Amino acid sequence: MKRIILIVVAAMTLAACNNSKPNHTNAAHTAKEDEETSAATDKTKADTAGVADTTAKTVVTETAAKTKTDAAVAKDRSFEEVYSAYFELKDALARDNGQTAQQAAKKMQAVVAKIDATKLETATAAAWKQYQRKLAFDTEHIAGIDENGHQREHFVTLSKNMYALLKVVKPEAPVYYQHCPMYNEGKGAHWLSKQKAIDNPYLGKSMPTCGSTVETIQ
């Protein structure tokens, strides 16, 4: 009888051990799953944060680039207005039209005055500070009188300074630097044109095709 009781007790103990082992295994497995889930969640959060940071940096970079591009476009447009007004003045002198030359000079004077050197890139700003007053001086004098002779005297120095400016701030389209050998008793003078064909602003209608192209600026 005692032997039977011992066998029953042993069997019950073995069964209890077997029942407790799976519970321990299940608990460990569940803990491992929780740990893996937590790690995956942390990785997802980190990846999301990384993407957000990269996106933010990209937006900042693109915004800065766009701002710089917009500023460059605005700058180029301002100088193109200066060049356009100069060409109008040149064409008026080539037609011996003093009043039209006056109006073109006034227009050029206005666009020259509105360009702010502090908003330009370093090299451009340095050139503009050097030539802005000179351009303003000659356009003021040309705008103040409709007599072609005096207008052309100032157009000589205006063209000289415009040439120097164009070498720094390149035009959108090619500009032709041209020379008249006969102006001012053979001393000659230069001018700028957007057409390669000669249309002399110094001799006007008397000798419109006198001269040659000496350089193309682009």
Collapsed DSSP state (helix, strand, coil) of residue 61 = helix
Residue 25 has pLDDT above 80, yes or no: no
Opening angle at CA 162, ends 161 and 163, nearest 5 = 90
* pLDDT 10s digits, 39-53: 555 665 656 556 555
Domain for residue 195, yes or no? yes
Domain for residue 187, yes or no? yes
Judge if pTM exceeds 0.85: no
Question: Quick one: average pLDDT of 175-185?
Answer: 98
User: What is the pLDDT of the chain when averaged over all its residues?
Assistant: 80
Specify the number of domains making up the chain.
Answer: 1
* pLDDT 10s digits, 194-215: 999 999 999 999 999 999 999 9
Domain for residue 51, yes or no? no
What are the structure tokens assigned to 18, written together? Answer: 């077997």
Collapsed DSSP state (helix, strand, coil) of residue 95 = coil
Q: pLDDT band for 77, please (50, 70, 90 cuts).
A: confident
Task: Give me the domain span that covers residue 162.
Answer: 68-217
Domain for residue 136, yes or no? yes
Domain for residue 85, yes or no? yes
pLDDT of residue 134: 98
Domain for residue 57, yes or no? no
Task: Give the CATH number, domain containing residue 180.
Answer: 1.20.120
